[in-house]
Amino acid sequence: MDNVESDEQEAALQFRFMTLEDIPDVMIIEHEAFTLPWTEEAFQNELTHNHFAKYMVMELEGTAIGYAGMWTIMDEAHITNIAVREAYRGRKLGEKLLDELMRTAAYLGMERMTLEVRVSNRIAQSLYQKKGFESAGLRKGYYSDNGEDAMIMWANLPPASRSGEEEGSVTDS
Question: Which of the residues are catalytic?
Answer: 116, 128
The span from the CA of 151 to the CA of 165, in Å, is 36
**Amino acid identity for residue 133 in this structure:** F
